[in-house]
Amino acid sequence: MVLLSSFGRIYALILPAILLFQAGDNTAPYRVSQQALVSTEALPVSLVIWTDRANYSLRDAMKVNGALQNNGHGPWYIDRRIAWTGGAGGLQLEIRNEQGKILPASYLSDVLMPPPPEGDKSFFILLEPGFLYGSYMHLKVKDFFPKPGRYSLRVTYKSWLIKETVAPQLRNLPALWVDSPEIISEPVWIEVTSPAKRVRR
Nearest to 88 by CA among 66, 110, 107: 110
What DSSP designation does 156 have?
Answer: E
Nearest alpha-carbon partner for 193 in 141, 156, 134, 125: 141
**191: number of Cβ within 10 Å:** 13
pTM, rounded to two decimals:
0.77
Can you tell me the distance from the alpha carbon of 35 to that of 32, in angstroms, rounded to the nearest whole number? Answer: 9
Identify the CATH homologous superfamily for domain 18-193: Intracellular proteinase inhibitor BsuPI (2.60.40.2360)
Give CA angle at 92 (100, 21), nearest 5°.
Answer: 115
Q: How far does Cα 150 stand from its chain's mean position?
A: 20
pLDDT class for 40, splitting at 50, 70, 90? very low
Query: What would the pLDDT profile of 79-109 be if each residue is shown by its tens digit?
Result: 988 888 876 678 999 999 999 999 987 666 6
